[in-house]
Amino acid sequence: MPKQIETRDSVIPYLVIVSYPSTGNCSYYMRASTGNRKRIKLGTSGELTLDQARVCAVKNNVPSLTAVDRTVDEVFDEFVSIGQLNAKRSIEREQKRYSKSVQPIIGSLSIKVIALTHVRRVMDGLAPALSIATRNRYLAMLRAMFRFAVTQGYCDQDPTRGLKLVREIQHKTYEVTDDLGGRLSEAVIWLDGHYPRVGALVTFLLSTGMRIGEALAIKWEDVDHSLEHITLSTTKGGKKRHVPINAACKKVLGQLAESTPAFVADSWLFPGVLPGKPMSRPVRPWKKACLVVGLPAALRFHDLRHIYASFCVKDGIPLYTVQRLLGHSSIRMTERYASLAHCDLQVASERVAKAMAVNFVERM
């Protein structure tokens, strides 16, 4: 049996399909009709269907690619179109990053003249306040785009090869103690007296474990009291999920409903200052509350989600259940909290030891 079989598509003559009989997979290529007839990879059967590969082949008009000198803007637009076909989750964020920080510097230049100095100029032009993680996302986006350009034959090499991603420092995970719980309660009380909506938001996050972006995107029509859950349409993973309404959450919802004037189903759970807009992230009131009650100044809204997960694990809730409560796509993301269950493991180990001792005694 041959390792691979190469055939031309019956619909698009310059679309080449390379099949691998041993795995049942295949790869899609386009071959130019002029010049060096370089074969350009479109993707694999795991990334594209045959129809999508045909669309890519027609859209890119391969026979004329070798004669065209493309700008960075044109290559990025094509890179985005491929990402949209593959349902790439981060494509919208990448478009915003490109238009804000990359396009003004190198967008109009030919992709063939871009060198490491141009990439450094883009990276140096990023806002100083950006985190290491965000800077890495910019570099990863540029790297993916230039590698796409090399694959398509628009340029000879990737100019980002001389730059490395900076090692990211993991955010501190706060240990759940009685002191931390007490100070969080004090912070909520202070916020209730000065910024009631923010106080309700903090309580809501602590009682549901939601991401703040998920909470601020909720409308009253997403709240189902009969089924006792909240439907989240805007999630990090892009998948709709349901969050159970517990007693603490139900109390917050009641307070919000009482304080919402002209209550309508399609209004925001946490409305903002501007009409028709949700609340923006209330960072300043939260920082003030942390300062007043003695919480760490670096404590973020996202840390409330970690604290919720930590409480779950320390209370003996199985990791699989915690994964579903948090909406993690993989159990590996939830396993970071496994060390917090050390006491439970110790108790379980002692129970096994006692059972084994009884069993051995009975046999003697």
Which option is the CATH number for 69-169: 1.10.150.130, 1.10.260.40, 3.30.450.40, 1.20.140.10? 1.10.150.130
The answer as to CATH 3.30.160.390 being correct for domain 1-65 is yes
Q: Give the pLDDT confidence of 233-282 residue by residue, as tens digits.
A: 877 767 788 999 999 999 999 988 887 766 566 689 998 888 888 899 99
Q: Residues 102, 106, 112, 115: what is their CA dihedral angle, to the nearest 10 degrees?
A: -80
User: Given this model, what pLDDT does residue 65 score?
Assistant: 43
For residue 35, pLDDT over 50 is answered with no
At 34 the pLDDT is: 46
What mean pLDDT value characterizes the chain?
A: 84
How far apart (Å, rounded) are the C-alpha atoms in residues 139 and 132? Answer: 11
Out of 88-97, 207-216, 308-317, give the one with best mean pLDDT: 207-216
Residues 6+ apart with CB under 8 A from 353: none
Please state, in angstroms and rounded to a whole number, the distance separating the CA atoms of residues 256 and 250. 10
Question: How much is the pLDDT for 266?
Answer: 67
Q: How confident is the model at residue 98 (pLDDT cuts 50, 70, 90)?
A: very high
What number is the average pLDDT over the span 156-173? 80
**Confidence grade of residue 190 (pLDDT, cut at 50, 70, 90):** very high
CATH topology agreement for domains 1-65 and 69-169: no
Strands 39-44 and 223-224: unpaired
Nearest to 155 by CA among 120, 119, 187, 179: 119
Q: What is the pLDDT of residue 351?
A: 67
pLDDT higher than threshold 80 for residue 337: no
Q: Quick one: pLDDT band at residue 68, thresholds 50, 70, 90?
A: low
Asked if the model's pLDDT at residue 63 lies above 50, the reply is no
Question: Hey, where are the domains in the chain?
Answer: 1-65, 69-169, 178-305
Write down the CATH number for the domain with range 178-305. 1.10.443.10
Q: What is the pTM of this model?
A: 0.60
CA distances (Å), origin 33, targets 36, 40, 95 = 9, 12, 32
Residue 67's pLDDT band, with cuts at 50, 70 and 90, is: very low
